[in-house]
Amino acid sequence: MHLDSPEEVIELVTQELDKTTSSRENRLSAVRALPSVGKVLGAVDVREKLIPLVLSIAPAEEDEVQFAIAEILENYVPVVGGGEYAHLILKILEAMCTAEETVVRDRTAKAFSKVVTEMQWSAESSTICLEILSNLSKGAWFTEKVLASNMYAAVYLK
């Protein structure tokens, strides 16, 4: 299949990530292909099209797929255009911070910490980052508070 436009690439990724029509194995393959997809699309289309797509599917995904998303996003800062745009990745990770499975939450916290270390600290990015930590710290569940405490060190070093 030859894809001629970013819209066609996004459409294919959307189909592969669709939980209702695609198997878990296909969704995992699509997630693992996100770095290559990002290179094909370029940073602007990643920020404007791919990040919102992943943000829309990540919270409702199965544990294994969420784990893979966190694993991929940990190294995704260059793909979104560098540290200036790293806060966009944090929004996806935030959506997975309350996952039921401990390994997903731990992997998400690790990815969050790595992204924060690569993030350029601006008014927008610091606000987003600190809001995420604040929301988790005030969470109703003990697990959210523990997760926030694991993530504070990376932010403190910034």
**pLDDT value for 57:** 93
pTM of the model: 0.87
Per-residue pLDDT band at 1 (split at 50, 70, 90): low
- Short-list 78, 151, 84, CA closest to 111: 151
69 close to 96: Cβ distance less than 8 angstroms: yes
CA atoms of 153 and 59, how far apart (whole Å): 25
**pLDDT value for 86:** 93
Q: Per-domain residue ranges for the chain?
A: 6-157
Q: pLDDT tens digit string along 5-51?
A: 888 889 999 999 998 899 999 999 999 999 999 999 999 999 999 99
79 close to 38: Cβ distance less than 8 angstroms: yes
Whose tokens are 């770095």? That residue is 35
CATH superfamily of 6-157: Leucine-rich Repeat Variant (1.25.10.10)
Q: pLDDT tens digit string along 65-84?
A: 999 999 999 999 999 999 99
Q: pLDDT tens digit string along 100-119?
A: 888 998 899 899 889 998 99
**10 Å Cβ neighbour count for 49?**
17
Residue 116 tokens read as 């924060």
Percent of the chain residues topping a pLDDT of 90 = 56
Start-to-end CA distance of the chain, whole Å, equals 44
Question: What is the residue-wise DSSP string for 63-121?
Answer: HHHHHHHHHHHTT-HHHHTSGGGTHHHHHHHHHHTT-SSHHHHHHHHHHHHHHHHHS--
